[in-house]
Homo-oligomer: A and B are copies of this chain.
Amino acid sequence: MTDGKNPVIANVTADDVAEAAGVSRWTVNRAFRKDASISRKSLEKVMAAAERLGYVPDLRAVSLASDRSNLVALLIDDFANPHKLVMMECLTRALRRGGWDTLLVNTLDRDDASHALLNASQRRVDAVILIGLQFDDEVLEAAAHARKFRELIIFARTSERPNTISIAVDDVRAMNDMAEYIYAKGYRRPLFVAGPQNYSAHLLRKETFFSYWHSNTGREPGLVTVSTYDPALARRVVAETLQNCAREDLPDVLVCENDALAMGAADAVRYSLGLAVPGDIAITGFDDVPQADNPNYRITTYRQPLSEMVDYLVEVLAHPDRQDRDRLFLGSLVVRESA
């Protein structure tokens, strides 16, 4: 049974169990399914034999024969964004409860995204979930073209692509709520801190804020762009921007596209400029990551209803034949001390 340092258990198959239990392989098969129509007696015999031999069905073979893999690929790129950790935790938990296993793919760069997609398709995953940045329309087009997976789900980001499911928060309403709050609080010189400018979800938040501001004040907010959702990078970029500002031209509020940027912005204001939040400059974020509640930050932000969104995702996976599966969710403003 063992060869010294590496105990290798000979593969036990359904045939072995069938023989041991004195039934056919198909009966063994049925004993391992919820929808079994099988006699109590056979079930017991099979289970006893399976237990004794240490049998568990081989999911590769199941997948090959049934053409369902019960596997979804999760493609992520910006690991510096703390919100991704929250999403991963939530997603993997819900998927597992729903019976899905998760293939985690760290897509290093835009080029790599295509490889990742190809790889997922070779594993014949039932669905691909995208929660990264680097999936611009070109990559998505290639993905849709070569798709061997049934579903392409874009999570936490709106998308108008056909044959693609988008599950996200309603950025327009969310950002309008936020803009309204900011305006009502009396801030009048906002600087918008934006992330990578390569796709729509972010443009949506930015554009919503800009258009709100324009129609309420007739003026254009300032804008600064950070190329990754990385707090440390955001700190540097924001610091540099503000240091080049005359004191009287400083913004009174930094409206950040998400909490990762907001944390960096807060650090910049405090530690690079030596100013106070919100006394000198206020800050708002988006996502309500756990750190937003940290006493160092206490960021006013917008909470996405993540568990609802994830539950819906699992439901969608379970009913692939349903129509109109795109869905926008409403979150809520979380007011803390930063603005």
Contacts and interface: CB of A to CB of B under 8 A. Distances in A.
Contacts of A249: none
8 contacts: A5-B162, A56-B148, A59-B123, A79-B86, A82-B85, A101-B123, A267-B296, A271-B295
Given A56-B122, A60-B60, A232-B290, A163 B5 contact: yes
Interface stretch (A103-111, A198-206, A303-311): A103-111
A7 interface: yes
A121 interface: yes
Contact of A56 (B11, B79, B121): B121
Interface string A54-69: 1011111101100001
A69 B101 CA distance: 15
Interface of A is mostly: mixed
A92 interface: yes
Interface residues of A, number: 59
A186 to B, nearest CB: 27
Given A150-B6, A163-B6, A270 B295 contact: yes
Contacts of A158: none
Q: Across chains A and B, which 8 residue pairs bring their CB atoms closest together, nearest first? A: A104-B104, A92-B106, A79-B89, A271-B295, A296-B296, A59-B122, A60-B64, A85-B85
Contacts of A96: 105-106
A74 B103 CA distance: 10
Complex copy number for this chain: 2
Given A8-B150, A96-B105, A232-B293, 5 more contacts: A54-B146, A57-B122, A61-B64, A88-B104, A88-B106
Contacts of A104: 74, 88, 92, 102-104
A59 B71 CA distance: 13
A336 to B, nearest CB: 14
Contacts of A335: none
A118 interface: yes
Interface of A: 5-9, 11, 54, 56-61, 63-64, 69, 74, 79-80, 82, 84-86, 88-89, 92-93, 96, 101-106, 108, 118-119, 121-124, 144, 146-148, 150, 162-163, 231-232, 267, 270-271, 290, 293-296, 323
A92 B102 CA distance: 13
Contacts of A61: 64
Contacts of A148: 9, 11, 56
B124 A59 contact: yes
Nearest to A89: B79
Given A9-B148, A102-B103, A60 B69 contact: yes
A58 B122 contact: yes
Contacts of A93: 106, 108
A1 to B, nearest CB: 11
